[in-house]
Structure 1
Amino acid sequence: MRHVIVLLLFLSTTVSYATRVSMSMTIIGMTKENNYGYPVFDWSQSIRDTILSSFFWGYIVLQIPAGMLTGRFGGRMLILVSMAVTGILNLFVPFAATKGDWQAVCGCRILMGLFQGLLYPSLHGLLGKWAPVSERGRMGTIVYSGSQLGTIIEMIVAGVLSESQWGWPSVYYLAGASCIAWSVLWFIFGASTPSTSTWITKEEMKYIESNTGPTDANEQKNMSVPWKGIWTSLPFWSILLAHCGQSLGFWTLLTEMPSYMDKVLKVDIKSSGLLSALPYVAMYLLSFIFSWTAEFLINRNITSLATSRKIFNTIAFWGPAASLLALSYIPAGHIPLAVAMLCITVGLNGAHYVGFLISHIDLSPNFASTLMGITNGFGNIFSIMAPLSVSAVVRDETSADDWRKVFFISIAFYFLSNLFFILFMSGNVQDWNEPKPKTNIEDGVKAVEKRRKEKETGEHKF
């Protein structure tokens, strides 16, 4: 049953990322003339970047509350609401664009981001309960690699559909229907923990619970979040900064790559979709190689958990930084070489699944969803900055020199955030992960102290 849950969570990231990426590709088709009579919008680059960033305005709002709610009540209903509402909003986007122009589209994207803000903290909480330690890296990679598959599918499909007789509205209809179909499957098979699943065997439930963490669902509901322990933990800060660096670098490429292909490399929309998807094919495939290698190193005691996380996070951050630097100096017109460097940049970034992204669970299985809510919330402030920074830096959309400045910003964030991660990340469960139970001795001391104070104040009654 844990494999069924992981498959469904993998599909959730696949479908949810497809809905995020749909706008990055489809906005090109929405602003170009077509042969089938679909509406064309006269949106400037500034408006397009505002639309692309609007998703994250809503996305950051519910990250921390979602993490806390997942920790207390489980992630089943939160993830269901997230995906169902995302589906409905996608179905509404074409109508909103036609009737309310870009402002209405921004409204839909903000709401979509708001509800998708429930998703990742819920995923982390569910993995913390369903993934045995020996399978955690593999399962985490499978689940989160769905984001790359969704990106690949959407970049290809969105480009083709936008140029077809079905037009750009069909991109949103397909994405919305996929979200709703997934929600039906999750309603039937989903569960927050093994103990609340109606489909699991007793043998598997015992195996999972003995290999995931010490706290059961009922006990966890009475655990308060150790805020002081979290915010004074350098290993947590290393994850937080890594998440911020990843968000800026990754989303700069994801949201702006189609425009870069179109304006600088002069690639048509169909080819742009295919070429833009290639780097994410590389990332998707390499993520499984990185995952297998990381588990091999850890399970064979070749490296410690912390060392493995640092090695693969370095591959995920400093590798793309170096290849982006090379990409920024490739002469204009060398499309195959530019695409190859983009494939290296994005492909190596797939190592972050067994780097910082799974480290929340390493530090605190009990509060992994809360930690993910915090880091994902702060990280997505930088996701908002990604398309907006392009508007601020790029004056001439066809200038390779202007785009080079965008790449330099990503390089700096990749380098510095990973340096902090290397210095301060830990693979050990933190002391604040476990609640401190009140012992009988402590209760007795408090009772004696209370009686003494009552006697001194004359309130003690015999």
Structure 2
Amino acid sequence: MVYLTHSERTPLLLGAQLRHIATSRFGARHWQAIQLFLGMMINYFQRVNISAGIVPMTTPTADAPYYNWDLSQKSLILSSFFWGYVVSQVPAGLLAKRFGAKYVICLATAVGGIMCFFHPMAANGGYINICVLRVLTGLVQGCVYPCFHTLLSKWVPRTERGFLTTGVYSGAQFGTAVILISSGNIFESSMGWPGLFYISGGLGLAWALLFFWQGADEPATSSSISKVEREYIESLTGSNTSSQSLAIPWKDIFTSGAFYGLLAAHCGFTWGFYTLLTEMPTYMSSVLKLDVKSNAVLSSLPYFAMGILCFVVSPISDLLINRGTISVTTARKLFNSIGQWVPMACLIGLGYMTADEKTGAIVLLTLAVGINAACFCGYLVNHMDLSPNFAGPMMGVTNGLAGVTSIIAPLIVGVVLSNEEDPTQWRLVFFITGAIYLLCNLLFVIFGKATVQPWNDPPSMSSTMTLRSNIQTDSRTTAPTPGKENQF
């Protein structure tokens, strides 16, 4: 039998009254989540502004400069972001673990904001210059997911993991939607399309200052958290407070079947999401024959739908898990399947739509992107399920490898499409994306798990961490109930 010291037992022996106080009030973890939500939104402004701006940048207007870039050059511009993005993922995870995610993400967002201001100048110098700037933007943006995952693994109790994590990452969808829907008005303003980059840059700098002031790496370093909430969070995250000094078990990670199931699901989501993100404005303009302003509004609709659905599916997932209706592993696989196989069916139908069926095409596009929200209760939180101590570095690996698909997908679209106005060529694009969804989620269903893996805790800590690891199992996922605490 393993005996814990008083300091180790304290978080687990929180009484029912204290636990009620911690969970019923707006707390530091909620403020942290709101800041991260805003940070995700603004970082997606920096990421998506080129996708929103590529059409007006290459369309002759009287008020703003335009560039005669051909289809292959535009595909190169759209994919170049991910060249830098892929390279920086693992280093970003290591930096977040070593120096603290707060400082890394603040610096990265501020630098990305500064680079936004130089986009119009770079475009004037030719598409190669804009490609170089997008590579550099990708380098700093590669810090976002590893840093956010590192922060969430410290701040989010497992009983709230679906809702709070999904809420934070829904900022990506709301950010995408906001910049797409506002881009039409920005393009028509006196600033023209350069205004899109100036606004993105200014907001990036503002958020970096806010989070540097108000953010914290973990509950223990927060100046505004109560003792009750800190103990509640620390007892239910599974993340060790000294994880910054732990060696990353790379060999165990790369020999884990659960890790490869997670990697497959991440790659499938990324391929589909970024294919639609980068190509949807072109599809709506070329095939559905929508003007720039209508294009901007309708291109944003799927991301608003996805953002809203994030707050629908995540409470359902947490409720099913915390009531013991389904296991954590079953929940992760179920919601990931909904988030990838339903969009697969939508894309198959979309492949047969024409310009005369605008309404049907927009409905299917909205569903294909919106229902992706279920994946946030699937693969996206799975890093923390498998290893709370190393969720950030793991996210760096999976997001980096998945990012390779973000490079390949736009290039394949450029190869497939010799005529942007040909619906049959777009059909092949949608079918390829659907096949990727099918295969990758199938691998997650076969190999995926949602239990803390043995390599989460080094051998020297395994005896003292046995209890906390055992608490997070498929069959029991809620916090200890009153009257049962003393059994531990």
Aligned counterpart, 2:16:
none
Alignment match of 1:317 (pick from 330, 334, 340): 340
Kindly indicate whether residue 240 of structure 2 is the aligned counterpart of residue 215 of structure 1.
yes
- Give the match for residue 16 of structure 1: 43
SS at match of 1:221: helix
Q: How does 1:86-165 map to 2 (within 5 A)?
A: 86-98=112-124, 100-165=125-190
User: Which one-letter code corresponds to 1:14 in the other structure?
Assistant: M
Is the Cα contact below 8 Å between 1:363 and 1:426 reproduced in 2?
yes
Contact 2:289 2:355 in 1 (8 A): no
Q: Deviations over 1:69-113 (max 9, x none)?
A: 222332011101110011000011112222x22111111111111
> 1:329: Cα distance to partner?
1.2
CA separation of 1:214 and 1:125: change in aligned 2, threshold 3 A? closer
Letter in 2 for 1:161: I
The one-letter amino acid of 1:339's match is: I
Is the aligned partner of 1:169 residue 2:194? yes
Task: State whether structure 2 residue 260 is matched by structure 1 residue 237.
Answer: yes
Greater displacement, 147-156 / 19-28: 19-28
Segment of structure 1 superposing worse, 81-90 or 162-171: 162-171
Letter of the structure 2 residue corresponding to residue 3 of structure 1: H
> Does the alignment pair 1:267 with 2:301?
no
Q: Which amino acid aligns with 1:21?
A: V
Distance 2:462 2:137 in 1: 47
Task: Please state how far the C-alpha of 1:439 moved relative to its aligned partner.
Answer: 10
- Residue in 1 aligned with 2:398? 375
How many residues in Structure 1 have an aligned counterpart in Structure 2? 436
Name which one, 1 or 2, has greater alpha-carbon Rg. Answer: 1
Contact 1:72/1:220 (<8 A) preserved: no
Aligned to 2:81: 55
In structure 1, the residue matched to 2:224 is 199
Q: Which residue of 1 aligns with 2:388?
A: 365
* 1:271-307, Cα deviation, whole Å (9 max, x unpaired): 0001111111111111111101101100111000000
2:71 aligns with 45
Structure 1 letter corresponding to 2:302: P
Structure 1 stretch displaced more, 121-130 or 382-391: 382-391
Taking only the aligned residue pairs, the percentage that are identical comes to 46
SS at match of 2:245: coil
Counterpart pick for 1:66 among 92, 103, 115:
92
User: Is it true that 1:80 corresponds to 2:103 in the alignment?
Assistant: no
Task: Give me the whole-angstrom Cα distance separating, in 2, the residues matched to 1:317 and 1:388.
Answer: 22
Aligned 8 A contact 1:286 1:348 in 2: yes
3-state SS of 1:367 partner: helix
Structure 1 spans left out of the alignment, 5+ residues: 441-462
Q: Is the 8 A contact 1:34 1:163 kept in 2?
A: no
Deviation at 1:438, TM superposition (A): 8.1
- Larger mean Cα displacement after TM superposition, 324-333 or 147-156: 324-333
Q: What whole-Å deviation, never above 9, does each CA across 1:414-449 have from its counterpart, x for those lacking one? A: 000000101111111000000111899xxxxxxxxx
Letter in 2 for 1:177: G
Query: Which is worse superposed, 401-410 or 154-163?
Result: 154-163
- Counterpart for residue 481 of structure 2: none
TM (norm. structure 2) is 0.88
Whether the 8 Å CA contact 2:265–2:444 is kept in 1: the answer is: yes
What's 2:422 paired with?
399
Q: Does 1:291 align with 2:317?
A: no
| Separation (CA, whole Å) in 1 of partners of 2:413 and 2:450 | 36
Quote the offset at 1:410 in angstroms. 0.5
Question: Are residues 214 and 25 of structure 1, via their aligned partners in 2, closer, same or farther at CA, if it must alter by over 3 Å?
Answer: closer
Between the aligned partners of 2:95 and 2:456, the Cα distance in structure 1 is 17
The code of the aligned residue for 1:131 comes to V
Q: Distance in 2 between matches of 1:439 and 1:400?
A: 58
Question: Matches of 1:439 and 1:102 in 2, distance apart?
Answer: 54
Aligned position for 1:35: 62
Q: Distance in 2 between matches of 1:438 and 1:430?
A: 14
Equivalent residue, structure 2, for 1:448: none
- After superposition, the Cα gap between the structure-2 partners of 1:22 and 1:435, relative to the gap in structure 1 and judged at 3 Å, is same
Cα distance between partner residues in 2 of 1:176 and 1:314 = 36
Counterpart AA for 2:137 = M
Query: Aligned-residue CA RMSD in angstroms?
Result: 1.4
| Whole-angstrom CA distance in 2 between matches of 1:330 and 1:186 | 45
User: Could you tell me how far 1:223 is from its partner in structure 2?
Assistant: 1.3
Shift of 1:163: 2.6
Asked whether 1:186 is paired with 2:206, we answer no
Q: Does 1:225 align with 2:248?
A: yes
Q: Return the alpha-carbon distance in structure 1 between the equivalents of residues 334 and 461 of structure 2.
A: 40
* Residue in structure 2 matched with residue 433 of structure 1 by the alignment: 456
On the 8 A contact 1:310/1:425 being kept in 2, the answer is: yes
Contact kept in structure 2, 1:74 and 1:193, CA below 8 Å: no
SS of corresponding position for 1:60: helix
Per the TM alignment, residue 165 of structure 1 is displaced from its structure 2 partner at its CA by 2.4
CA apart distance, 1:198: 2.2
In the alignment, which of 356, 370, 387 is matched to residue 347 of structure 1? 370
Cα distance in 2 for partners of 1:435, 1:41 equals 56
Paired residue type of 1:2:
R
User: Residues 66 and 118 of structure 1 are in contact (CA less than 8 Å); yes or no, is this contact kept in structure 2?
Assistant: yes
1:62 CA displacement: 1.3
> How does the TM-score come out when normalised to structure 1?
0.92
The correspondence for 1:337, drawn from 352, 360, 373, is 360
User: Are the structure 2 counterparts of residues 438 and 322 from structure 1 closer, same or farther at C-alpha, using a change threshold of 3 Å?
Assistant: closer
For 2:85, the aligned partner's letter is Y
Distance 1:88 1:220, change over 3 A: same
Instruction: Tell me how far apart the structure 2 counterparts of residues 178 and 220 of structure 1 sit (CA, whole Å).
Output: 32
Q: Mind listing any 5+ residue stretches in structure 2 that lack a counterpart? A: 1-27, 464-488
Which residue of the partner structure matches residue 451 of structure 1?
none
3-state DSSP of counterpart to 1:397: coil
Partner of 2:441: 418
Asked whether the 8 Å contact 2:321–2:331 carries over to 1, the reply is yes
Note the C-alpha offset of 1:371: 0.7
Larger mean Cα displacement after TM superposition, 194-203 or 368-377: 194-203
Contact 2:154 2:239 in 1 (8 A): no
CA distance in structure 2 between the partners assigned to 1:82 and 1:262 by the alignment: 33
Instruction: Give the C-alpha shift of residue 331 in structure 1.
Output: 3.5
For the structure 1 residues 195 and 307, does the alpha-carbon distance in structure 2 shift closer, same or farther, using more than 3 Å as the test?
A: same
